[in-house]
Structure 1
Amino acid sequence: MVKYTELPSLYLEKMRELLDHSNYEEYISSFDMPKVQGLRVNNLKLSGREFEQLSPFSLEPVPWTENGYYYREEEKPARDPYYYAGLYYLQEPSAMTPAALLPVQPGDRVLDLCAAPGGKSTELAAKLKGEGLLFSNDISNSRAKALLKNLELFGAGPICVTSESPEKLAEYLPEFFDKILVDAPCSGEGMFRKDSGLIKDWLEHGPDYYAPIQKNIVSQAVKMLRPGGLLLYSTCTFAKQEDEKVIQWILENNPSMELMKLPDFHGFARGFEMEECIRLFPHKIKGEGHFLGLMRKKDLGDGEKIQGNIQENRRKQIKMPEEAEKFLKEIKSSDGKERLFSDQSRLYIKEDSLYFLPKDFPYHARLRYLRTGLLLGQIKKNRFEPSQALAMFLKKCNYPRTISFSREDERVIRYLKGETIILKDTEKLAEGWCLVCAEGFPLGWAKGNKGVLKNKYYPGWRWQ
């Protein structure tokens, strides 16, 4: 934990100006309080209540989100099989707020513009419930790769992950999205208690550096928002220059935008001179600092959605190999009545990779995509190898050949380390591809042969 004495004097002067005397003293005292740990349950796989029943951790609900929980600092949820099954995302409790308060509905087209490392995108994906489109972008290619891993670990399904500038996305996707989240890069004042490294960055690049960047990012987001759509702007800083002043600038320069009031929760503070906005302070809640403002683009036109031109490209390129077709026929809906990937128009082959694209996927060849939809697997000569992303997307009931170990079974960790697994005489399994599970939740693939599971767990994800 950062100590009060480590804070720059200039920063303390700014906080004295921002807060009244009693709140300033309470804020300073928060640096003597322990930081809190949080996890957010993956509602694509189970509900918060269901997770409470099977969780090995001591959980306390986070008030402002139905699937967020505090856990004890000494507990290690990142070293648990449930983490590798994608049952939760480790996230600072205040950082759960933006995705929780953006009212996403299944079927929406949603953009997370500054998405890495993926905490907010994973929750947006869960809210969509497999319907609609999630477009997750980060301008940093290395950070976008981490974003992609977290979305695939979560079982997010048909997604788009890009690494582009906001300007380039706005050029190709004007008025395309129903909901946009901009968790903007900022000076990080709200996270000083948690990370002392941010203090050094603040001294080098403070609010004066970030405010112009934030204005540019949000102005590009406005261009991509359809009439009637909602844009949520958030930061983890306290400076008015990066918070209310950015909202004010957007409203003044975009007459089509109007400010919406966000809901109240115990401990939330209202924005300075902007009652519609929300501020989170560590002396008022169990969490770090955050700011949120919700805006709506006035519905001045018909808001017609752009369809993109991927349909033509798919028809030209798709020709399903026999082995891939045979494998995909085995994957059924939860009731076993329908094939999950029967829509040929959404299947797409690029090089040796087979993808299942989102509906209304906006194909633009000049955008730098890291992922276009759900990667189903690799097409090899005379065989098909299903992907790790597909394993995480599926439920146990979707695939006919599965093996499920208890969470305490030592073979679970051995599997996650990439080792070959020997089955017991009582554990019957057919030959071929097998979906390996822990307590019924998929972990990855193996190849069954005479009581032996040849490990196919993705090497880049292995337990270290």
Structure 2
Amino acid sequence: MAVSLPEPFVELISKSLPTPDYLEQFLEYCDKPLRRSIRINTLKITPDDFCQRMRSKGWHLEPIPWCDTGFWIERDDDTIALGNTIEHLGGLFYIQEASSMLPVSALFHLISPNDAPLILDAAAAPGSKTTQIAAILEHQGAIVANEFSASRIKGLYSNIQRCGIANVALTHYNADVFGRWLPEIFDGILLDAPCSGEGTLRKDPQAMNNWSVEHVKEIATLQLTLLDSALHALKPDGVVIYSTCTLNRLENEQVVELIQQRYPQAVEVVPLGTLFPDAQRALTTEGYLHVWPQVYDSEGFFVAAIKKKASLTIKPVHKKVRPLPFTKASPKQLQQISSYLKRQFGIVLQEHYVVMIRDNEYWLFPEAIYQLTGEIRFDRIGLKIAEQFKDQWRLTHEAAIHWAEQINKNTIELTLEQAARYYQGQDIKWPDSKAGGGEVLLSAQGVHLGLGKRLNGKIKNRLPRELVRDGVQFI
């Protein structure tokens, strides 16, 4: 049955359609199933190795032209949900709609990851773009991942953890605070703004149930406020990528045009026609990418790149930020944690990070975030490395996943059946386990799962309870 769209919506978008036949094509594609797509996490595996691995499992992968780690996929066997495959649980890939990979590709089309930039992801949950940014940065620089919705923070952190990322700090604010609290701090900003979601119909047929022109205008006002704040938080010569998953001009072209009118001498739209070979098909006369679902057989999306040419003045605000309950590790404490990591797992602490201590916990903060700790409140910074109990240490799951590719001591390879039991929260029988015990990193088919402890003929399960998956099976 053909998709049903509100009449006011059809009237609104008809005014901005490139050609009259676009509406018919749009309606046709709204009825088509959305192609499944994934992005390979290059912090864990190379695209070539991943494709070779998954082709042997009956996966058919078609490259996404604007993201060299993105692929549309089909599988010979769909009995296991993508999210329950060992490769997904182990952080080798992220399930992400193809067009939503565009904004991050646009950001790093214009700034270099080699400069270790400080990036703000202003509306970060569920983490698709944060993890995409992190993979490109390769542990350099840092990301402030902000999410206004408290209920989505947990899922955001879970995805960051699963992908083995350490150079992220989480904040929980309305994103309009950053321009006032952290003026001209960030090298690049991604504002994937809250929107009416018109481009998501193929994934969510109910997306338009509560659509109205009045609501669109309200959202557009919010979007303009957030974009204004982002520009103030951006360094001169930095870039803001403004994107939405909606289709109307009020939330897209008009928002960018209004910000240009507000700051005519300070902002410049950078055309995105050279972002990838076929970009011209979605390019507007202004230089934006306005992706209708029928253009690339994807969700609808809008992307604009805005360069800041000059400083913007802003009234100073009185800030009262509680000091973090952390202290910088002393040389002795730094030597202790370094010795433990090297002795037990072969881990060497990387540069550009600061080791911090809270009670008996050791944490790893990105240097760029450490410099901001008195400027704004963070919900979580970097990753917790380990806990110390007198002379004993306990590595965290997130640290094990972060350093898994570096770990070369005390590793154990499980069968797929044992790996499934591990994800179900069960202990693993292991006759070689030493009575004295010891921490081990567990893997299966080259995928790192997490930690266990050898003890009395078994491996005690150290998977955090919130990551346990009842009934998971691997083939």
Query: What range is the shorter-chain TM-score in?
Result: 0.7 to 0.9
Deviations 1:121-168 (A, max 9, x none): 000001110111111111122212211111111001132111112233
Question: Offset at 1:195?
Answer: 0.7
Question: Offset at 1:310?
Answer: 9.4
Q: Which residue of structure 1 aligns with residue 302 of structure 2?
A: 291
Deviations 1:433-460 (A, max 9, x none): 0011122332111001244110001110
Q: 1:318–1:286: structure 2 CA closer, same or farther, 3 Å change rule?
A: farther
Check whether the contact 1:318–1:347 (CA below 8 A) recurs between aligned residues.
no
Question: Number of residues paired by the alignment?
Answer: 447
Which structure 2 residue ranges, 5 or more long, are not aligned?
Answer: 313-320, 471-475
Q: Distance in 1 between matches of 2:20 and 2:351?
A: 64
Q: Distance in 2 between matches of 1:428 and 1:342?
A: 35
Q: 1:14–1:312: structure 2 CA closer, same or farther, 3 Å change rule?
A: closer
The two structures have a TM-score, normalised by structure 2, of 0.86
Deviates more, 1:222-231 or 1:378-387: 378-387
Question: Offset at 1:326?
Answer: 4.6
Is 1:329 the counterpart of 2:329 in the alignment?
no
Q: Which residue of structure 2 aligns with residue 320 of structure 1?
A: 333
Equivalent in 77, 82, 85 of residue 80 of structure 1:
85
What secondary structure, in the 3-state scheme, does the structure 2 residue paired with 1:6 have?
coil
Question: Offset at 1:187?
Answer: 0.6
Is 1:383 the counterpart of 2:392 in the alignment?
yes
What secondary structure, in the 3-state scheme, does the structure 2 residue paired with 1:442 have?
strand
Of all paired residues, the percent bearing the same amino acid is: 28
Q: Match for 2:97: what amino acid?
A: E
Is 1:359 the counterpart of 2:367 in the alignment?
yes
What secondary structure, in the 3-state scheme, does the structure 2 residue paired with 1:82 have?
helix
1:129-140 mapped onto 2 (5 Å cutoff): 129-140=138-149
Is 1:59 the counterpart of 2:61 in the alignment?
yes
Question: Offset at 1:311?
Answer: 12
Check whether the contact 1:318–1:349 (CA below 8 A) recurs between aligned residues.
no
Question: Offset at 1:314?
Answer: 3.6
Q: Distance in 2 between matches of 1:375 and 1:109?
A: 21
Q: Which residue of structure 1 aligns with residue 315 of structure 2?
A: none
Q: Match for 2:4: what amino acid?
A: E
Is 1:348 the counterpart of 2:347 in the alignment?
no
What secondary structure, in the 3-state scheme, does the structure 2 residue paired with 1:33 have?
coil
Q: Distance in 1 between matches of 2:458 and 2:214?
A: 56
Check whether the contact 1:310–1:363 (CA below 8 A) recurs between aligned residues.
no
1:52-451 mapped onto 2 (5 Å cutoff): 52-55=51-54, 56=57, 57-72=59-74, 75=78, 76-103=81-108, 104-106=112-114, 107-203=116-212, 206-254=215-263, 255-262=265-272, 263-266=275-278, 269-274=281-286, 276-298=287-309, 314-315=327-328, 320=333, 324=337, 326-330=339-343, 339-340=348-349, 346-361=354-369, 362-365=371-374, 367-380=376-389, 383-406=392-415, 409-423=416-430, 431-451=437-457
RMSD of the alignment, in Å? 3.0
What secondary structure, in the 3-state scheme, does the structure 1 residue paired with 2:241 have?
strand
Is 1:17 the counterpart of 2:15 in the alignment?
yes
Question: Offset at 1:194?
Answer: 1.6
Which structure 1 residue ranges, 5 or more long, are not aligned?
Answer: 302-307
Q: Which residue of structure 2 aligns with residue 36 of structure 1?
A: 35
Q: 1:350–1:315: structure 2 CA closer, same or farther, 3 Å change rule?
A: closer
